[in-house]
């Protein structure tokens, strides 16, 4: 019990006031729906930019680590230990990559084509084709479409064109053949990491797991610049939108509360206490913010495939709604200090 009102009665009154089509709160409710939708919609654009930036950095080799011998002519890396790195957390794929002496002539592609020997673990396409074609050798072919090539060196072979590979996996202009079983040792081990993993932190871990012989093996990232996609994501303007929505709703609600002084005076003259009227306003704001939260969360779920992190976006919407209630509650405390007579003068 609060004054002459029960909590249930205050809640019911707040819902009726907020949803009243002829009341003064419908513009606030419309803004709540707009604000709740705006947050996930703006994140779709930011997520698209993030994906584009990450893809550009990935193709520049930001996730590729190269483990190789200081002497290009030696093969100190046990191929099986390199292939096994793909089982490590954060590793997308791993395998050996060695240049095959000489070149090849292919009727469909042209003469003097370099040949590279690669682990089957590095290219899953070896499951459907005997030889793989670098994307830049055959720019018009469809990815993963199997066809027969006439090779001077290897004869008639089933082949497929692989997608463009990042810097560090340098096979885009080469013919790729699987590493022969008898080649147990390699000069180069290539590892592609997830975008969430820092190559500098993984380099010593990967190197320690290799079985080597003879010559020294060094590790280096294929991407020599600082990755900036995550920094741009963390500094995006859209991250401040939930606060702006919360502040906007709170300010608009406080302004409408001031415009409803005559309505508040009616409650006070009918026997409601100052705290009753203030709590009623807060409950009305809870209804408005709840509408914004529901709209934003549903929008986040509907746009899940387009968002970088739908869960984080839904939490941002919820935080914005709760903040709007707190801000309005603070801004509307002036109502507690006004008498019935002062409120009535604003009719």
Do the Cβ atoms of 222 and 166 come closer than 8 Å?
Answer: yes
Q: How far, in whole angstroms, is CA 238 from its chain's centroid? A: 14
pLDDT of residue 34: 94
Does 105 lie in the same domain as 175? yes
pLDDT of residue 42: 92
pLDDT of residue 251: 92
Does 219 lie in the same domain as 236? no
Please report whether residue 159 resides in a domain: yes
- Structural domain boundaries, residue 115: 64-224
Please, which residues have CB within 8 angstroms of residue 133's CB and are 6 or more apart in sequence? 109, 141, 149, 159, 160, 161, 162, 175, 176
Does 254 lie in the same domain as 120? no
Please report whether residue 21 resides in a domain: yes
Does 319 lie in the same domain as 265? yes
Does 191 lie in the same domain as 78? yes
Whole-structure pTM value: 0.72
Could you give the number of structural domains in the chain? 2
Q: In whole angstroms, what is the distance from residue 77 CA to residue 80 CA?
A: 9
pLDDT of residue 1: 40
pLDDT of residue 319: 95
- pLDDT < 50 positions in the chain: 1-2, 343-344
pLDDT of residue 342: 55
3-state class (DSSP) for residue 4:
coil
């Amino acid at each position: 019990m609060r004054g002459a009102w029960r909590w249930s009665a205050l809640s019911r009154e707040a819902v009726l006031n907020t949803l009243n089509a002829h009341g003064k709160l419908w513009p606030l409710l419309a803004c709540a729906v707009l604000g709740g939708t705006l947050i996930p919609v703006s994140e779709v654009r930011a997520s698209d930019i993030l994906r584009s930036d990450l893809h550009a950095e990935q193709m520049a080799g930001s996730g590729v680590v190269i483990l190789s011998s200081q002497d290009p002519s030696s093969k100190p890396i046990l191929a099986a230990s390199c292939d096994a790195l793909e089982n490590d957390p954060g590793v997308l794929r791993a395998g050996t990559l060695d240049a095959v002496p000489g070149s090849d002539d292919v009727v469909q592609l042209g003469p003097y084509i370099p040949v590279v020997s690669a682990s089957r673990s590095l290219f899953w396409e070896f499951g459907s084709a005997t030889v793989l074609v670098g994307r830049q050798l055959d720019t018009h072919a469809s990815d993963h479409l199997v066809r027969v090539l006439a090779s001077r060196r290897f004869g008639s072979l089933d082949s497929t064109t692989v997608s463009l590979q990042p810097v560090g996996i340098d096979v885009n202009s080469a013919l790729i053949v699987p590493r022969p079983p008898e080649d147990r040792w390699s000069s180069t081990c290539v590892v592609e990491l997830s975008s969430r993993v820092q190559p500098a932190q993984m380099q010593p871990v990967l190197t320690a797991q290799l079985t080597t012989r003879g010559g020294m093996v060094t590790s280096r990232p294929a991407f020599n610049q600082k990755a900036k996609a995550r920094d741009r994501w963390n500094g995006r303007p859209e991250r401040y939108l939930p606060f702006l929505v919360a502040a906007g709703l709170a300010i608009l609600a406080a302004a409408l509360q001031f415009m409803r002084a005559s309505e508040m005076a009616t409650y006070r003259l009918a026997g409601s206490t100052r705290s009753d009227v203030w709590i009623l306003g807060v409950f009305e704001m809870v209804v408005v913010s709840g509408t914004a939260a529901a709209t934003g969360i549903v929008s986040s779920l509907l746009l899940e495939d387009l968002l970088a992190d739908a869960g984080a976006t839904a939490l941002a919407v919820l935080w914005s709604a709760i903040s709007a209630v707190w801000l309005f509650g603070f801004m509307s405390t002036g109502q507690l200090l006004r008498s019935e007579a002062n409120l009535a003068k604003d009719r």
